[in-house]
Amino acid sequence: MFSDQRLADLNQPLLAEHQLQFQHLADSPRLRQVDLPGVVQKLMDFQVAIPSWALGTGGTRFGRFALGGEPSTLEQKISDVGILQALNRSSNSISLHIPWDIPQDIPGLQQLLKEQGLVIDSVNSNTFQDQKDQPHSYKFGSLSHTDKAVREQAIQHNIDCVGYGRQLDAKTLTVWLADGSNFPGQQHLRRAFLRTQESLAAIYEAMPSDWTMLVEYKPYEPNFYSMVIPDWGTSLALCQAIGQNAQVLVDLGHHLPNTNIEQIVARLRQFGRLGGFHFNGSMYGDDDLTTGSIKPFQLFLIFNELVDSAVDQSVPAEAVAYMIDASHNVKDPLEDLLQSVENILSAYAKALLVDRETLNEAQEANDVVRAEEILRDAFLTDVRPLVAEAYRQSGGALNPIAAYRAAGVREQLIRQRGKHSVSTGL
C-alpha cells in the first residue's frame, strides 16, 4: 500500500516546513550541547509492539460501534500492523492473544511477516474467558483455582501458548490473570497466592530457557474485592520466587488514581525485574485510552526513569518489552495506534533531552526548583521535528496520520473487507 515512491510523494509537500522546524530546534541555544543526530538515531531504534486485539474497534459492555474494514483473520491483522510499520517504522512487532489468534498456516504467516518486516514478539494467554469445548470453567479463577483440575487446564493453556509462539519465533509469554474475589471471605487470600505461584512455576518450568514470562498486575476488575495479583509488589514476589526470566509487566492503566508509576518503574529497574510495558492512557483506571492522551507529563517521567537507569552502570542491563495495550470505541484503531506510538516517541525524545548532569547536581544540592525546571525544560520542548525526522530517516512518513488519511486507507479496507467485518478482541 505504501511503496517508497508513494511515501516520498506524500512527504514532498511537508519537507521544506519540516526542515525549517528541525533547524530551528537544532539552533536553540539550550539544545546546542545535545547530540541531536544521536537522539534521532535512538528514536529510530525504538520499537513498540502492537497488540492484535487493538486493531478492531474496542467495545464496552454497553455496546460496540463497528467502523468497518476491521481485520478478522491473523493474516489481516498482520497486514494492518504492516500499514502502521510502513508509516512510522516504529511498530515492527505484534503481540498475539490466544485463542483469538491461533496461528494456522505457519509458513504462510512467516512469509507474510517477512514481507511486512514484522516479527511476533509475545503471546498472551487467556484464562479470563471460558472457551467452547473447555471441560472446566474459570468462573472462580484459573491458575489460583481451588480445584487442581482447573489449575491444570489453565497451566496447559499457557504451555500451549508457548507452543504457538515458538512456531512463530516469539520469546515472551505474557500472563494477565483475572483471578480474584468479589466478596470478603470468598477466597483464602494466602492460599490463592500460593496456588498461583505454584501454577506459574509449572508454566515457567515448561518454557524454553530463552523465553521470558511477563507477569501483569491489576488492582481491580473483573474482581472488585480482591485480585490475586493486584500490584507490582505481588508480581515482583511471584517473579522472584519463580526465576530470573520471570519479570514484571507494568500496564499504565492498572493502577489506582494518583499512583506514582515512574517510581514503580525506577524500583523495578533497580531490582532487575522490569520486563515490559503495556502503554495506554488512563483517566480513572483501566480506560485503555490513547497513550499520552491524558497524562503526557507522567509518560515523560516514566521515560525519564528509563533513560536515567539505562545510563547508570549500577542498574542491571535488561531488555524491556514495549507494547501498546489500548483500544476503545470512538477512533479508527489504526489512527489511535499511530497517535499512541507518536506520543511514546515524543516522551522518549523529551527524556533524552534532559540535562542529566545538571539534574544530578541539583538533586545532590537539594536545589528543588532547579531540578524541577530541568525536567520542565525538556518536557516543554516541542520535539515533533525530532520524531518526524526519525520517521523520515527510517523511510516512513513525516506525518503518519496525515499520510494514512491522504491515502484513504480506511476506505480501502472497508472496500476489501466490508462494512461489518468483526475483529476478535476485548
Residue with the CB atom nearest ligand LRH in the bound state: 176
* Closer residue to ligand LRH, CB minimum distance, 124 or 346: 124
Angstrom distance (rounded) from CA 351 to CA 337: 21
By CB under 5 A, is residue 278 in contact with Mn ion? yes
Asked if residues 215 and 200 have their Cβ atoms less than 8 Å apart, the reply is yes
Helix locations, 96-242, DSSP H: 106-116, 148-167, 189-206, 232-242
By CB under 6 A, is residue 176 in contact with ligand LRH? yes
Across-strand partners of 158? none
Length of the chain measured in residues:
426
Asked if residues 321 and 172 have their Cβ atoms less than 8 Å apart, the reply is yes
DSSP-based helix, strand, coil % in the chain, nearest 5: 50, 10, 40
SS3 226: strand
By CB under 6 A, is residue 216 in contact with ligand LRH? yes
Question: At its nearest, how many Å lie between ligand LRH and the CB of residue 285?
Answer: 9
* Closer residue to ligand LRH, CB minimum distance, 26 or 426: 426
* Closer residue to Mn ion, CB minimum distance, 18 or 278: 278
By CB under 6 A, is residue 124 in contact with ligand LRH? yes
Angstrom distance (rounded) from CA 61 to CA 63: 6
**Could you say which of 101, 179, 286, 305 contacts ligand LRH (CB under 6 A)?**
286
By CB under 5 A, is residue 101 in contact with Mn ion? no
Asked if residues 383 and 346 have their Cβ atoms less than 8 Å apart, the reply is yes
By CB under 5 A, is residue 251 in contact with Mn ion? yes
- Which of Mn ion, ligand LRH, none does residue 70 bind to, with CB < 5 to 8 Å depending on kind? none
Secondary element (H or E) of residue 215? strand 212-216
For helices 333-352 and 36-45, what crossing angle results, to 10°? 140
Cell of 86: 510502513
By CB under 6 A, is residue 251 in contact with ligand LRH? yes
Question: At its nearest, how many Å lie between ligand LRH and the CB of residue 410?
Answer: 24
By CB under 6 A, is residue 392 in contact with ligand LRH? no
Site for Mn ion in 289-348 (CB under 5 A): 325
Residues in the site for Mn ion, rule: CB under 5 A? 251, 278, 286, 325
Residues that bind ligand LRH (CB under 6 A): 124, 176, 216, 218, 251, 278, 286, 325, 426
